[in-house]
Amino acid sequence: MAIPRREDGDFIEGIYHWCDRWCERCKMTTRCRQYAMECARDAFNADGSQDGDSIEFMESLICVADSFEAKGIDEELAAAEEDASFSAAEYSDDDDPEEEDEYDMEAYLLERDRIERETATTKCVQLADHYMSEGSRWFDEWDILLSLLDDSDGAVTDATEVVRWYLFQLAVKLRRAINGKLDDEMECREDMLGSAKVVLVGADSSLQAWELLQSRMPEDKADAISPILAVLRQLVVETEAEVPDARDFVRPGLDD
């Protein structure tokens, strides 16, 4: 993991909100606070003495500290606070009821239930679930054959990594996007658009990767990929229909 250096400049606010979390392949690691923090944590964990005196740990701390210095500590703390709550929300279906002055727990739970039920019946979400199970089944069946294919150029390994990376992520991100769309009290339309954009970009990459795998499979085995491609293409169509502005959404640092 390359440690972000202090001369690499400021972090881009919110860049990791709508990325695919594939840091090993990300070109924006030097602009990402999340990455810097993870580097610092990893360096600290790798530092057997636990006193944080390793070079990597110190460099990471300097990098994060520079961000505070450059932007002003208040602004940076506010951003970090917002980031922390955003990250927590990404993997939680719960809003924070304590933030409401008068909170009706029963109404809240009913509303969450409605959103979850409607999300689960949305066609693009059902396609994402179907894609996830069909893709997993394909790997169960053909994993051994994959290892026997000609991979002298590394393309099979690359395509396999791409497909595996997005196989489960598409359904998770799409649920988040549709949850946001169905939430009448949704305050952050950007989150819906950004999550749907991650799905579309990941699906595009997955389609290319599946097509590569199909082209390398023996002729009598290649057809097994066709139904998966069909599901994935339909998933893209349905997602674009459900969140029409997602393609045009510009994710900070990733699309601009």
Residues that bind ligand SF4 (CB under 6 A): 15-16, 19, 21-23, 26, 28-29, 32, 34-35
Whose Cβ is closer to ligand SF4: residue 38's or residue 151's?
38
CB of 66 to ligand SF4, least distance (A): 17
Whose Cβ is closer to ligand SF4: residue 115's or residue 201's?
201
Question: What is the 3-state secondary structure of the chain?
Answer: CCCCCHHHCCCCCCHHHHCCCCHHHCCCHHHCHHHHHHHHHHHHHHCCCCCCCCHHHHHHHHHHHHHHHHHCHHHHHHHHHHHHHHHHHHCCCCCCHHHCCCCCHHHHHHHHHHHHHHHHHCHHHHHHHHHHHHHHHHHHHHHHHHCCCCCCCCHHHHHHHHHHHHHCHHHHHHHHHHHHHHCCCCCCHHHHHHHHHHHHHHHHHHHHHHHHHHHHCCHHHHHHHHHHHHHHHHHHHHHHHHCCCCCCCCCCCCCC
Whose Cβ is closer to ligand SF4: residue 16's or residue 131's?
16
CB of 17 to ligand SF4, least distance (A): 9
Whose Cβ is closer to ligand SF4: residue 61's or residue 224's?
61
CB of 77 to ligand SF4, least distance (A): 20
CB of 253 to ligand SF4, least distance (A): 7
Whose Cβ is closer to ligand SF4: residue 63's or residue 225's?
63
CB of 239 to ligand SF4, least distance (A): 21
